[in-house]
Structure 1
Amino acid sequence: MKKMKQLLAVLSAMMLAAAASGCAGDESSEGRTKSQDDVSIATDNLEKTDDPDITGQTVYWMALYDLNPTGNADRSVALTLFEDVYGAKIEYVPTTADTKFDDLANRINGGDPVDMFPYEWDAVPNGVNKGMFDPLDDYVDLDDELYEGVRDMAEMFKYNGHYYVIPYATADPLAITYSRAMLEEEGLDDPYELYQKGKWDWDAFMDMMQTFVNNGDGEEVRYGCAGWFGQALIQSTGDTVVTYDGSKFTNNIMSPNIERAELMMEEIANQGLYSSVWHGYFPNDGSVLFYGMAPWHLADSNAKNPDGDLFLVPFPKDPESDDYYLNMNYAATMLVKNSDKGDAVAMWIKCQRIAETDPSYKAAAKEKALIQSTNAQGKVTGFITEEQYDFMQTWYDPNNIKTVFDFGYGMGSLMYGETYDYGTRGVMNNVADGLLLQYENTPDTWAEIRSEWQSVVNTVVDDFNNLAQ
């Protein structure tokens, strides 16, 4: 195993500095919530490792955001390691959401420096086939125990025999938030307790929503669920619309597992259980039982529901499955085509992975996550409970939760693209939530939606298979 002594020494120094500054700081909102990762670290006497020497190299990072600190923010742990241990730096190349892939192609074709790009759905296989990215095989040692826990994810993304995406973490898991106080009042089971018993499944989910809506007095408006549901429900089956066996893509839209998920969404829509109104936090008016969203909303939701005793669980599992599959994003960095900084990009990925896995930093991250946010008047505007935080951490254990990736989201705009119009949306968009959102001209049944889009999936899949020949 590669020696980690100097890296751990740096992390220890950062944790001590963070603790010291936290004790000495004032109790204002800014003082309590400001990151304390950036510290001065002496590395002259630290032991050398057998990692590549990237001292003095500048890596060009194109993205919507800068990895360097801006305003009064501090350096991340990963950036501190990258600069102070490895002696390299990152230069930001800004782009926009609408032009990012065009800007990347222009820099590649024009010979302008660009080395790193954040992983996005369209990167694989579409971006790879457009000549935007190189594989990381020669630079990242997946046998290193540092990558235990993400190795299977890298295998999941493997394309044409190469590793283009090596996640250093998962992020933004789609989960269901609910109020335990509301459930108790309605006489309903706690989904968390059902989950612990392996009984949190589609059947329990549907029964609870139906009971909640039927318990209404007829004057109040009640919904079983709101938020982002379709994609997570489909992927809770473990099946994907497009499958890949390592050499060939296959259209799997006829999957009976996907069909059962879609028929459940039909039932949810037909019974009026789903609210298409957008909520940025768990509704505090008692109108919605289950709120589907990534946990970014949780601190705000807790503050807006102080007596709600909010909690959250993974999406319910398919009754025909023994496993819970969780829809989530993957934090990864792509190596841009023709970059001569492969070693440096690999070291950046390593720094990110260390920041995600080192116990001392994980402890500090938890401490920061539990700090309440307050406004200028001292009112609490956001918080996460320790119980919530600890339970969410269990979702990242592959022994508890299985991850899913559907290559269909990375096959260009015919397959994925949001236009808010049924006729021009991507196939994956309509498959995920067409039945729930019911944009104009959306069919009422899964059979009709599948029939309309099956040939498009066939065409796209054939095109990508032909590119690989």
Structure 2
Amino acid sequence: SMTFPANCIKEMFQPIDDIVDFDSAMWSDVKNVAEQFTLNGKHFVAPINFLPGSVITYDKSMIDAAGLDDPYELYQNGEWDWNAWYDMMSEYVEGAAADEERYGINGWFAPFIFQSTGKTLITYDADKDEYVSNLNDADFVRASDMLYDIAKNGMYYPDWVGQAGDAFKKNILFYAMGPWASTGTHSPKDGDNWGVVPMPKDPNSDTLYTTIDMNAYMWVKGSTKNDAMKCWLECAKIVYTQDTYKDIEKEKFFVNNPNWTEDMYNVAYVDLVTDKFTKIFDPGYGISTTLSDNDAATNDTKEAVIPYLYTSVMKTDENGSQYTWTQLKEQYKGTVDSELKTLNEQYHAYLEKNK
């Protein structure tokens, strides 16, 4: 998590511009993403391929039984937004019989709701040439209000559920998780009729934003094996660039997941990884151990500050009171600001040294 920007500023890696031409046919499709990982105008990351960090899987028979619209059709029509998502969960939960427990959602979705505004908690400000905090952003107030309400109104199932099928058995309408949890051994069985949609979009934005998992390579400082590294990167990239390879991959997928539909596949493995979605990355995951490194975290939930802030309006304190965004901001603003101050000082020293 600390590779960019912190460890690049510490000069553990070197720029890749000598061996990767982002205007070439092979690399141009990832140029926009690579631009987000630059220091001093130089690129440090060669993106190889993208994988959805989380998609929303649902059981169409549950949707039909509750008399709800099919989320995939809403998505196709550009209507799959926070409001549609929230209203659907609300209606489903309120429609429970007296002896029945229903939930709207389980899994990994909170950061994506924040980021569907097109913003991240930490961002690089080109005018100031430094990394700054977005904690006070008005769009984040809207995002946090909605997440807060989802939990407050009993729509959120907070415990871990390891696969989509188990979520549906627990009357959870939407299961948000990486596709690993609805493919392979977790794939729909014969007779299942599932659907997949991306995270809902911000109703105030026409652009579809996503943060995404990325396989990428960086180049260790001190290496002089330019030709070998160039060759290695191109071999890795070509598999995700050439249609022949992509077709083989897709064919293999459907052999292993015969009950996935073409629509589901297109959402998870085409729309989210191609240009339909604008990909954004939060540099907050690479600032310092305090902000970014879960393994070094000492708080109750063992989460570093940035990942913690994204999900915490859905959590409660030891007295069972739900955290508000205002509380969380107050509590962590000082830490975020001081960690950024340190990083920015190191960053400007790095620029000075590498003029």
Common fold by TM > 0.5: yes
Instruction: Please name the residue that 1:402 is paired with.
Output: 278
Paired residue type of 1:261: A
Larger radius of gyration: 1
CA contact (8 A) 1:223 1:273 kept: yes
Instruction: Please name the residue that 1:416 is paired with.
Output: 292
1:425 pairs with one of 287, 294, 303: 303
Instruction: Please name the residue that 2:264 is paired with.
Output: 388
For residues 429-454 of structure 1, what are the alpha-carbon distances to aligned partners after superposition, in whole Å with 9 as ceiling and x for unaligned?
22111122436478521100011111
CA contact (8 A) 2:210 2:280 kept: yes
1:353–1:388 distance in 2 versus 1, CA, 3 Å? same
1:213–1:307 distance in 2 versus 1, CA, 3 Å? farther
Instruction: Please name the residue that 2:341 is paired with.
Output: 462
CA contact (8 A) 1:421 1:439 kept: no
Q: In structure 1, list runs of 5 or more residues that go unmatched.
A: 1-120, 374-381
CA contact (8 A) 1:395 1:401 kept: yes
Q: Which has the higher contact order (CA 8 A, sep 6+)?
A: 2
2:35 pairs with 1:155: yes
CA distance in 2, matches of 1:308, 1:364: 25
1:334 Cα deviation after fit: 1.1
1:360–1:278 distance in 2 versus 1, CA, 3 Å? same
2:56 pairs with 1:179: no
CA contact (8 A) 2:116 2:208 kept: yes
For residues 27-65 of structure 1, what are the alpha-carbon distances to aligned partners after superposition, in whole Å with 9 as ceiling and x for unaligned?
xxxxxxxxxxxxxxxxxxxxxxxxxxxxxxxxxxxxxxx
**Aligned runs of 1:443-454 on 2, under 5 Å?**
444-454=323-333
1:227 Cα deviation after fit: 0.4
2:202 pairs with 1:323: no
Paired residue type of 2:253: A
CA distance in 2, matches of 1:461, 1:401: 29
CA contact (8 A) 1:443 1:449 kept: no
Instruction: Please name the residue that 1:219 is paired with.
Output: 99
Instruction: Please name the residue that 1:314 is paired with.
Output: 198
Paired residue type of 2:216: A
CA distance in 2, matches of 1:204, 1:409: 30
Identity %: 33
**Aligned runs of 1:257-336 on 2, under 5 Å?**
257-282=139-164, 283-299=167-183, 300-303=185-188, 306-336=190-220
CA contact (8 A) 1:323 1:401 kept: yes
Paired residue type of 1:320: N
Instruction: Please name the residue that 1:195 is paired with.
Output: 75
Aligned residues: 339
CA contact (8 A) 2:180 2:186 kept: no
For residue 415 of structure 1, give the secondary structure of its aligned residue in structure 2: helix
Relative to total residues, which structure has the larger helix share, 1 or 2?
A: 2
CA distance in 2, matches of 1:338, 1:344: 14
2:53 pairs with 1:168: no
For residue 197 of structure 2, give the secondary structure of its aligned residue in structure 1: strand
CA contact (8 A) 1:227 1:292 kept: yes
Instruction: Please name the residue that 2:243 is paired with.
Output: 359
Instruction: Please name the residue that 2:26 is paired with.
Output: 146
CA distance in 1, matches of 2:40, 2:343: 11
CA contact (8 A) 2:2 2:293 kept: no
CA distance in 1, matches of 2:47, 2:222: 21
CA contact (8 A) 1:422 1:440 kept: no
For residues 335-386 of structure 1, what are the alpha-carbon distances to aligned partners after superposition, in whole Å with 9 as ceiling and x for unaligned?
111112233222212112111011111111111111137xxxxxxxx85333
CA contact (8 A) 1:236 1:317 kept: yes
CA contact (8 A) 1:422 1:439 kept: no
CA contact (8 A) 1:372 1:384 kept: no
1:240 pairs with one of 104, 107, 120: 120
Moved more, 122-131 or 448-457: 122-131
CA contact (8 A) 2:15 2:43 kept: yes
CA distance in 2, matches of 1:321, 1:385: 29
1:301–1:188 distance in 2 versus 1, CA, 3 Å? farther
1:307 Cα deviation after fit: 3.6
Instruction: Please name the residue that 1:4 is paired with.
Output: none
CA distance in 2, matches of 1:388, 1:423: 33
CA RMSD after TM alignment: 2.0
Instruction: Please name the residue that 2:133 is paired with.
Output: 251
Paired residue type of 2:288: G
CA contact (8 A) 2:314 2:323 kept: no
For residues 383-412 of structure 1, what are the alpha-carbon distances to aligned partners after superposition, in whole Å with 9 as ceiling and x for unaligned?
5333322333122221x1111101101112
